[in-house]
Structure 1
């Protein structure tokens, strides 16, 4: 964890902390967990701009994930054709393609992939709500509600709440430290896991980056870094 990431956590709390407090009230989800996930999902995108940009400008570039088939083997849509074959899919492609062009302008990691005219973004908002949910949530994607704090926060909370319920039941009042990491892992994987499976593998679960670090390990680091920041 770098001091730059901790600075970004403080920025998130300063700009969105009041809304986060209201959203997590009465749930087992904590502000620290939510901010840790937001940092893990999208900080690499807005790291170089957030100190000088307006919050709404930061939110507007929180998009990513351009992988399609065969790397995106199970989740819909597998590619542009798959997306455009659905109702309002062509409109969604335009939005998702414009989002890719926008992020490529501020993040050099997307400058190569944007040259392919059929590539588009699959993840939207600071908490990266996936385009696989488009059919049941068209307005959220097409109207770019993901580029607003209210929009991205609501979807992040709904997914975290669902994964918490799947892992620990509807009556869960508080999460232990380890349970918070497990919920984040389930959030990242996009599918519910069993408690036994989680505990067996500990934090070496979720997406594994190029350095061999798992998503769960990153969340562990992020959570520890939030201690005492607010």
Structure 2
């Protein structure tokens, strides 16, 4: 079995392969973009590869991305033999909407190892965590963007580009402070807001987007959230996300605080690091999937 992700808007579920797309006779339903399930490659015909799920339904292979060649349910976790380190389990459920496939994940992890491995190793000494966990968090937080940049820009440039998350202004769903740019300006003023807006628009331009008058909410490789400005204003005023030492310090501080309430439970520590509810559970499942790939692949 492999873990498969639907990459087209709609993919028909069929009782068997076909050789002509006009044949609608064996359609029994559909799955939609982002859906993840388990299946195995059965055959190749004139239309390409066909995969079969555990219920016996067939799917056209060009509408799928193979996330993992081994099912997460059948794969043994990579245990952590280092004394004092957290046990690394498998995802509790197949993660939804993984931002990277296995190949992309490992590319980013190797980049992290090459440029920041020693600093990450030092940071996790005498903690329950490993540097590979930090790489896995990057894979979930920012790698969907940076893996496209690592052959074009220096590590220092990439660090400076890591201004993401327009929640609040883009979709109005942000609950943490600041709820939007207006709320930020009301408390911290237009001058600091303009500085952060300029940083966000540099990254927007890099992504091919026009400027917006929005204060973004996530800063750095690990996406230190803007809500922390209430107790850590200097990080944002001084643009400390440009520096890997500061980024690592923030993520480690947050992980350690969550570990205290979830001792010996890496899944719930990662979940709490992100928040609560189903989205945070999926976050933890995604990070654990990346972590297992990284531990086996580098």
Q: Fold match, TM over 0.5? A: yes
Structure 2: state its 5+ residue gaps: 1-100
Cα distance, 1:205 vs structure 2: 4.6
Mapped partners of 1:181, 1:68: distance in 2? 28
1:46 aligned onto 2:146: yes
1:3 aligned onto 2:103: yes
Mapped partners of 1:37, 1:134: distance in 2? 21
| Structure 2 residue corresponding to 1:143, chosen from 238, 241, 245 | 238
Q: Which residue of 2 aligns with 1:211?
A: none
Mapped partners of 1:166, 1:90: distance in 2? 38
Mapped partners of 1:106, 1:163: distance in 2? 34
The structure with the greater share of residues assigned to helix is 1
1:99 aligned onto 2:199: yes
Matched length = 196
Q: Which residue of 1 aligns with 2:280?
A: 206
Q: Deviations over 1:10-52 (max 9, x none)?
A: 1101110100110000011111111100111000121211123
Q: Which residue of 2 aligns with 1:227?
A: 295
1:31 aligned onto 2:131: yes
Higher relative contact order (CA 8 A, sep 6+): 1
The structure with the greater share of residues assigned to strand is 2
Cα distance, 1:135 vs structure 2: 1.9
Mapped partners of 2:112, 2:250: distance in 1? 17
Mapped partners of 1:27, 1:163: distance in 2? 12
Larger Rg: 2
Distance 1:45 1:142, change over 3 A: same
Mapped partners of 1:153, 1:95: distance in 2? 23
Mapped partners of 2:290, 2:258: distance in 1? 19
Mapped partners of 1:91, 1:138: distance in 2? 14
1:62-73 matches, within 5 Å, as: 62-68=162-168, 70-72=172-174
TM-score (norm 2): 0.61
TM-score (norm 1): 0.78
Cα distance, 1:62 vs structure 2: 1.0
Q: Which residue of 2 aligns with 1:157?
A: 252
Over the residues paired in the alignment, what is the CA RMSD in angstroms? 1.9
Cα distance, 1:115 vs structure 2: 4.6
